[in-house]
A and B are shown apart, each in its own frame.
Chain A
Amino acid sequence: MKPASFDYLRPDSPEEALAALAEAGEEARLLAGGQSLMAMLNMRLVQPALLIDIGRLAALDAIRLEADALAVGAAVTQGTLERRAGLAEEVPLLAELLPFLGHYQTRNRGTVCGSIAHADPSAELPLALVALEGSVTLRSARRRRTLAAAEFFAGMLTTARRADEMVEAVRFPRRRAGAGYAFREVALRHGDFALCAVAAIAEEKRLRLAVGGVADRPVARDLPLLDGAALDDALNDFAWALGGSDDAHASARYRRTLVRKLGRAALEEARCRRA
């Protein structure tokens, strides 16, 4: 299908984009890579009056290595981040999961911040941000605010972003000394939406597991340092607490099984990598 009509604006700076967004409010949508938004426009699931294209704003097309995090600007594509030399050292979880995110061709255009703003419950980048306890910087014409990942994601395709705000940057905390990271997912096909995706972090005094594709948003839980049957019990509790439901692709029961099995495998792998 083809999109309904809209006006198109290509601002020359983030400030111009935010001024236009403040004026148009709910009527406008920001367009960056468009790998979710363009499909929704084509299917007429969204019909904005105005598209504000921020995809070519050089000021937003920057990745910065900060003291404790990797900061990724709103126009940075997933492919650019994936090809970044040193990513596996800086944020190993991202290096591991980016190849699973959509397809090569969509990563070349889709942005990191766009995936975060879209907030699909099965998407890999929101999962990574929640697992690592990263943050989202929102900017409007009037002010800037930063939210923890867990505060930002509010439900299925729903976030704490207000109509006049842009996701200006997201920050993924850097690899911590002595920590191991691992990612696993099951999808019908490589690059499809994950039926269940998990990200595990193992440190000396804690285990942390984040799960995507089951609840209405990615959810993380700190687990006690357990092994064997005790760990299986903790994972079983987590699987039930996520409250997944049946859909066309998988039953709730199968998804709980995936949380238990993938969770166990990812946690063990993260522990091995810690050593």
Chain B
Amino acid sequence: MPARLTAAKRHRVSFTLNGRAVTGEAEPRLLLSDFLRHVLGATGTHVGCEHGVCGACTVQVDGLAMRSCLMLAVQAEGRRVDTVEGLAGAGAALDALQRAFRRHHALQCGFCTPGILMSLGDWLGRTPNPSEQDVREMLSGHLCRCTGYAGIVRAALEAAAEMARERGKEPGDV
């Protein structure tokens, strides 16, 4: 039988965070969101509801956007985890999506923003040329209490158009 990770002990967890190998110790019940923030100090990932509704803790695991509060740290073993800290390039230059968010005032307090950026980063890559309705349905997985979403939707559509231009297509082409 495989080893059973006992409740009372901390166990070694290793994965790739934003391209770097990281290791820490976690009890089985420790959520990935808390492991990122409290063990690894990666506080860019925010924690809201802790039952999967608000979307603030959304990260990418093996390239797919998902809730880090609905996942155990020990389940990240051997995986690739990407968080908002990994978006900015050399010299902390913002990426295209982040620049679109700034242009369109797609954030005010910024609490929900890291989760939304991690969702969009994955989703826009799989959903070329989304409609506004598509964007709004994807955003239903995030709560923003400041903006009313209008700026977020505009920023997402502009980033999608930019990605389409890079692929040599017009917005709306399939």
The residues of A with any CB-CB pair to B shorter than 8 Å are 1-12, 16, 19-20, 34-35, 38-39, 41-43, 49-51, 53, 55, 79, 83, 99, 102-106, 108-109, 189-191
Contact = CB atoms under 8 A, between A and B. Distances in A.
Interface residues of B, number: 36
B55 A105 contact: yes
A39 B2 contact: no
Interface in B3-55: 4-8, 27-29, 31, 34, 50-52, 55
Interface of B: 1-2, 4-8, 27-29, 31, 34, 50-52, 55, 58, 61, 64-67, 69-72, 74-75, 119, 123, 126, 136-138, 140-141
Given A2-B31, A51-B72, A190-B140, 4 more contacts: A6-B7, A8-B4, A11-B1, A39-B52
A39 B33 CA distance: 13
Contacts of A6: 7, 28-29
A105 B68 CA distance: 10
Contacts, number: 109
Contacts of A34: 70-72
Nearest to A23: B1
Does more than half of chain B's interface fall in helix, strand or loop, or is it mixed? mixed
Given A35-B70, A103-B140, A105-B119, A42 B5 contact: no
A58 to B, nearest CB: 14
A131 to B, nearest CB: 23
A105 B58 contact: yes
A16 B4 CA distance: 12
A10 B141 contact: no
